[in-house]
Amino acid sequence: MQKGCLDDSSYHVNMIINLLMRFPEIFTVTYNLGASSYCLSYMIKGKVVQEDYISLRRRLEENLEAYCYFKKKDNCKIRLGKEHYGCFTRLEVKLAGGNLTGEEISLITRLIHDAFGPNLISELRPDDVDLEDGVSTWEEMMSLISNRDSGSEVNKLFAFREAGKVYVYDDQ
């Protein structure tokens, strides 16, 4: 491996580790190096109903638009997605291109926290969870989540936090 590649990878790995350590509410981070895009996921206890989901999406868009206006940033487009896993909902916030600041992540995390309060899981520990719907182990759940879109993009880093440790994988 060339020295430049190692330095670039190390920078991105450290950035993701810092993100997960600073924001324990973030369940996983997927970072596409080629596109400089992020997918932050948050885990919510229970199923998020459609009206709460639409309300959150609207608030995220409005707040990020205002943030970008005042910071004079061009690109603050996000996509919000949700998936149900047994008695949990995983919210995905996809942010395309450019540099993502701690202020933006803090704003996103705060809005999600405000919307779901105590149902937002801050750090998922395997012993604290009752898995349902055909998922019998924690490893199966992480495999389901991390392999959902495998093969669609290359040069991705996938990271999650468990019991105070951050795990980063090359998701190719």
13-17, 53-57, 135-139, 162-166: range with lowest mean pLDDT: 135-139
CA dist., res. 6 & res. 68, Å (int): 32
Position 1, amino acid: M
Compute CA 144 distance to the chain's CA centroid, rounded to the nearest angstrom: 15
CA dist., res. 89 & res. 85, Å (int): 6
Could you report how far apart the first and last alpha carbons of the chain are, in Å?
A: 16
Q: Is the pLDDT of residue 136 over 70?
A: no
* 17, 160 Cβ separation under 8 angstroms: no
Mean pLDDT of the chain: 77
CA dist., res. 103 & res. 105, Å (int): 6
Q: Is the pLDDT of residue 128 over 60?
A: no
pTM for this prediction: 0.74
DSSP state of 76: -
* 131, 7 Cβ separation under 8 angstroms: no
Q: What is the pLDDT of residues 83-124, one digit of tens each?
A: 998 889 999 999 876 666 778 888 999 999 999 999 998 874
Three-state DSSP class for 91? strand
34-48, 59-73, 87-101: range with lowest mean pLDDT: 87-101
